Structures are given as C-alpha cells and as structure tokens.
Amino acid sequence: MVIEHASFSRPWTEGMMLAELFNNPVAFSMVVRAGEDEKIVAQVFMRLMLDELHLLNLGVHPRWRRHGLGTKLIQHVLKTATEKGTERVILEVRASNEAAQGLYQKMGFRQIGLRKNYYCKPTENALLLGCTLEDIQAFSETETKQEIENQGKIKINACNIINTP
C-alpha cells in the first residue's frame, strides 16, 4: 500500500489489491524485494486474457526509483509473458507520465491507441501502448547484459511471482 499511495493520484484500495491477488482467476502479480530487510520495493499487477497480457498497475517505491527496478520488473513480465505464449502485452499510461513512458519505450512498447479522458484526478488522456511477441523476443536477448548493469547499481534479492492464472 505504501508504494500504491506514493505512486498514484487514485491508488487502489486494499480490497482491490486483495481481490486481484486472491479472487481473480486471470490476475497475475509480481513483486521485487531488495535491500537488507528484503522489503517489497516494486510491484506489478496484470491480467492474462487469452493471448494478451494487460498490465494494470506498476509502481516502484519512491526511494528506490532510478535504480533499474522498473526495468527489472518489466523484464520479468515480458519473459513470463513469452513463456505463457502471450502474443502481446498492452497497458495504459497517463499522457503526462514521461518517466513511465521512457521506461516502456526503452522496453520495446509502442503507442497503439489513445483513450480520451481515461483518467481522473486529474482528468487526462491515456496512451495505449503495446509490445508484440517479436518485440519481447528481441528484448529477451539483451536481458543478461541489462541484469549485469543493474547489479552494479543495486542488490536485488528476488523477483517473485505472487499469483498466476
């Protein structure tokens, strides 16, 4: 919940998170643990529907941002999506969220649509981004290099899958 409240103007409630974790057959979540105390420092919630993975919520604790954790988490999402035979990964991002857009672009996502007034508090358009299976495969080849680079910056204890369809 700390990450959620620090990351979004309309954070998910505890009930929404619990429902996603324990009461949704298509839900799929991962966390990254890091630091001496192995606390959860990054989270991602997704839904796997047929051949499409919809990324609903991605957040990194503010104290741990710009250390490659968002990248690490998306790497694991894309790798797992490939293993599950997913054709593409889609997500919405606020038009003003340059940080997240920078991350997604770097990971191979491209804009495939626009959802008008999708967000509130404040009202704002969403860019619909997508990453196809070919993008995912191309990305996976660079994973090892990226992981080595990340290890120089931060000690990541684990990237755990919490639930999966």
Ligand X SMILES: CC(C)(COP(=O)(O)OP(=O)(O)OC[C@H]1O[C@@H](n2cnc3c(N)ncnc32)[C@H](O)[C@@H]1OP(=O)(O)O)[C@@H](O)C(=O)NCCC(=O)NCCS
- Cα of 71 vs its chain's centroid, Å: 9
**Among all chains, which residue has been given the structure tokens 């969220």?**
97
Q: Which stretch binds ligand X (CB under 6 A): 16-24, 63-71, 138-146, 156-164?
A: 63-71
Question: Measured from the CB atom, is 26 or 95 closer to ligand X?
Answer: 95
**Active-site residue flag, 143:** no
Residues 7-46 within binding reach of ligand X (CB under 6 A): 7
Taken as a whole, the chain contains a residue count of: 165
Does 108 contact ligand X by CB under 6 A? no
- Using CB atoms, what's the residue nearest to ligand X? 70
Tell me the two tokens of residue 151.
């290890």
Q: Which of 68, 75, 78, 139 binds ligand X (CB under 6 A)?
A: 68
Q: Are strands 88-94 and 52-60 parallel, antiparallel or unpaired?
A: parallel
Cβ–Cβ under 8 Å, residues 57 and 7? no
Give the span between the Cα atoms of 161 and 140, in whole angstroms: 18
119 is catalytic: no
**Selected range binding ligand X among 45-53, 99-107, 136-144, 157-165, rule: CB under 6 A:** 99-107
Is residue 99 at the binding interface for ligand X, with CB under 6 A as the rule?
yes
Give the Å distances, CA to CA, from 134 to 3, 95, 124, 139: 32, 25, 31, 8
Q: Is the peptide bond before 122 cis (omega within 30 degrees of 0)?
A: yes
Listed residue (80, 5, 3, 77) closest to 43, CA to CA: 3
89 binds ligand X (CB under 6 A): no
The CB-of-124 to ligand X minimum distance in angstroms stands at 12
Q: How far is the CB of 23 from ligand X (least distance, A)?
A: 23
Would you please indicate which residues are annotated as catalytic (active-site) residues?
A: 92, 104
Query: Which residues are near ligand X by CB under 6 A?
Result: 7, 58-60, 65-71, 93, 97-100, 102-103, 106
